[in-house]
């Protein structure tokens, strides 16, 4: 039985989310939302962009930042603490190693095609969501 693209995307999202949860488990202060927040904010993304990615309000994203601060990951200015840097570095290594295994034997051109397709589907879904 052939599955539709939405079914494949949905089941892939679930599997990748479970893998991320597994890899972040040794880092109690870093759940999915915190992981996304840190990676996006440290790359310079503004709160509204992070909120869009997380499908949450800007206020909810601000609460994530406050929680990270309260857990010693960020300082009062929103910069990584030494402990936060250590945890994020270790988590990135763990997640990177796990995800590298997923695509190790897949041709680079197939990965590029898949990435372009998924980015287009994501963009169209967001456009439909905001237009409706």
Q: What is the CATH number of the domain that holds 34?
A: 1.10.10.10
Using alpha carbons only, give the angle 16, 119, 89 rounded to the nearest 5 degrees.
50
Query: How many domains are there within the chain?
Result: 1
Calculate the CA 73 to chain-centre distance.
17
Q: The tokens of 27 are what?
A: 């880092």
Whether residue 35 has pLDDT greater than 80: yes
Rounded Cα distance, 10 and 74, in Å: 32
- Contact between 64 and 37 (Cβ < 8 Å): yes
Its pTM stands at 0.86
Range of the domain at 49: 5-131
Distance CA 50, CA 59 (A): 11
What is the band of 132 on the pLDDT scale with cuts at 50, 70, 90?
low
Q: Say yes or no to pLDDT of 61 above 90.
A: yes
Band of pLDDT at residue 108, cut at 50, 70 and 90: very high
């Amino acid at each position: 039985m052939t599955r539709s693209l939405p079914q494949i995307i949905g089941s892939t999202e679930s599997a990748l989310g479970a893998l991320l949860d597994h890899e972040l488990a040794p880092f109690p202060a870093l759940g999915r939302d915190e992981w996304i927040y840190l990676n996006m904010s440290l790359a310079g993304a503004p709160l509204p962009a992070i909120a869009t990615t997380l499908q949450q309000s800007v206020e909810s994203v601000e609460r994530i930042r406050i929680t990270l601060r309260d857990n010693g990951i960020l300082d009062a200015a929103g910069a990584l603490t030494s402990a936060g840097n250590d945890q994020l570095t270790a988590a990135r290594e763990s997640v990177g190693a796990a995800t590298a295994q997923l695509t190790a034997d897949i041709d680079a051109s197939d990965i590029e095609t898949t990435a372009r397709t998924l980015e287009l589907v994501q963009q169209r879904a967001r456009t439909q969501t905001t237009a409706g």
